[in-house]
Amino acid sequence: MTPQDRATKSSEALWQGDHAARWLGITVVSVGEGTSVLSLKVEPHHCNGHGMCHGGITFALADTAFAYACNSRNQATVAQHNTISFIAPGQVGDVLTATAHEVSLTGRSGIYDIRVTNQDGTVIAEMRGMSRAIKGPLFPE
């Protein structure tokens, strides 16, 4: 199995149980070994009392992209911790895109950077995620 095939099958296995991402309206755009691109159209129900995309929604998008990137090798992997910086607000109608890429993978620990942008390329948020592999694959090989 090629690394791309493994990443695709891992993504499909994650998506089967990812009720939160589907409920939020997140879409998987692409996956690769150690990478992912996910998107979300900001709807009124994603907005806070200031009329902008709630930070928790932006974080959920970034965190989900992180999950698809760090699980791309068919090794069950979870977040150890994350930090996020909000740069600009998302607005109703924006299409937010979270692009995740692996910075480092050593043993069971990984580091991933995730950038969230809008349809104009404006940076909405930057997140760094630290992952930890746990027992088990996502699908049998």
- Contact yes or no for 64/29 (Cβ under 8 A): no
Question: What is the CA 86 to chain-centroid distance, rounded?
Answer: 16
Proportion of the chain in helix, strand, coil states, percent, rounded to 5? 30, 40, 30
Q: Which residue has the tokens 């480092």?
A: 104
pLDDT in tens, 26-79: 999 999 999 999 999 999 999 999 999 999 999 999 999 999 999 999 999 999
C-alpha span between 92 and 49 (Å, rounded): 13
pLDDT in tens, 88-134: 999 999 999 999 999 999 999 999 999 999 999 999 999 999 999 99
The pLDDT, as a whole number, for residue 55 is 97
Q: Which residue has the tokens 């692409």?
A: 30
pLDDT tier for residue 80 given thresholds of 50, 70 and 90: very high
> What CA–CA distances, in Å, run from 108 to 111, 114, 127?
11, 19, 20
The pLDDT, as a whole number, for residue 52 is 97
Is the alpha carbon torsion for 72, 73, 75, 81 positive or negative?
Answer: negative
The pLDDT, as a whole number, for residue 26 is 98
The pLDDT, as a whole number, for residue 130 is 98
Q: Which CATH architecture has domain 3-133?
A: Roll (3.10)
Q: Which residue has the tokens 């692996």?
A: 102
pTM value is 0.96
Q: What is the distance between the terminal CA atoms of the chain, rounded to a whole angstrom?
A: 9
The pLDDT, as a whole number, for residue 47 is 97
From 139, 107, 141, select the one nearest 10 (Cα to Cα): 139
